[in-house]
Amino acid sequence: MSMFELSGRKAILTGGTRGLGLSMAQGLLEAGVETVIMGSNEKVHEVAKTLSVYGNCHGLAVDLSDADARGKGFDEALNLLGGELDLLVNAAGVQSRHKSEEFPAEDWNWVMEVNLNAVFDYCQRAAQVMLPKGQGKIVNIASLLSFFGGFTVPAYAASKGGVMQMTKALSNEWASQGINVNAIAPGYMATDMNTALLADEGRNAEITARIPAKRWGQGPDMIGPLLFLASDASNYVHGTVLPVDGGYLGR
């Protein structure tokens, strides 16, 4: 079905070296999308080399918490793609856990810089490439904490709530100009970020019991929703936040 065809398109994906981002990168490459993955350190080059068996993959080490570094990183990524960009996936994210009354200001600023400020920055830069040609896809990664608050993660919850509202706001402005801005909200996923929860037998069991699918999500569960939002099949889907949560929010 041609509406799902992605071969030949070009993408930038942040946070592509592990977890959900790594799975999504593999999915894009297998679909024929030339992809620049960004990681926080030089490991990204090894990951890109490994992913190259699936398609045309480039790796860039970019500190998304540094505004100057991420600006240069975006320009370099665009250059690797020959100045063309069809898809931006903002998958990078960080978390810090502390009691709210003790939450360090430096941790708050770091989480907000990577999870929210960098996302807006790259959405804006991507739009400046996409608007002149009248088409493009932007997929942000939100969270179940876009909908509720969690415990000991006020910065993460605030940043992901911001990603959800930002996605809607940008869609309001750019939908009529051919850019689809949407988000995916992963549920409880078996990734490094949730190592503590996975190791807590009681909390793990409590979470699993509430998930109608009766299991935690895996990276490959993100691929189908991403390819849908990246393709022409979603051309009339704007400003939505798609939960990929095994039914958790509906419980």
Q: What residue has token string 């807006």? A: 120
Judging by beta carbons within 10 Å of its beta carbon (0-12, 13-18, 19+), is residue 209 exposed, middle or buried? exposed
Would you say 64 and 58 are in contact if contact means Cβ atoms under 8 Å apart? no
Beta bridge partners of 154: none
For residue 176, how many other CB atoms are within 10 A of its CB? 9
Give the whole-angstrom CA distance, residue 12 versus residue 24: 11
Active centre residues (catalytic): 156
Please report the sign of the dihedral spanned by the C-alpha atoms of residue 56, residue 59, residue 62, residue 64. Answer: positive
CA angle, 237 then 123 then 128, to 5°: 100
